[in-house]
Amino acid sequence: EAQVTQNPRYLITVTGKKLTVTCSQNMNHEYMSWYRQDPGLGLRQIYYSMNVEVTDKGDVPEGYKVSRKEKRNFPLILESPSPNQTSLYFCASSFRNRGRAGDEQYFGPGTRLTVT
């Protein structure tokens, strides 16, 4: 089954304790992206990757890191989490520029993070 998976699905942690949220896709997509979703603010892009070893900042990258060492995986790293990073996080993936207009992104189930 084609899917995007994320782990963990729920996480409660304390300020300053490094954490990693994993994301994996089995659709051979080049493009992967991380979003956070907050009430009243909608989905905002954190980081994205156009392919292996190619990553770039989105709209709200402060406090986050990513890496793309393999095509299928795109982990999100919070080296020193703070309470303002409490949010619902989504990973998404898509093909890139397949010669047709528009590349629909497929989303993972989400990771609810609480930082106390």
Report the interface residues with another protein, using CB under 8 A. 4, 31, 33, 40, 42-43, 45, 48, 50, 58, 88, 90, 92, 94, 96-97, 100-110, 112
Min dist. Cβ of residue 26 to another protein (A): 15
Of residues 11 and 43, the one with the C-beta less far from another protein? 43
Of residues 53 and 79, the one with the C-beta less far from another protein? 53
Q: Which two tokens stand for residue 80?
A: 């020193």
Q: Which two tokens stand for residue 111?
A: 């990771």
d(CA 94, CA 114): 28
19 near 38, Cβ under 8 Å?
no
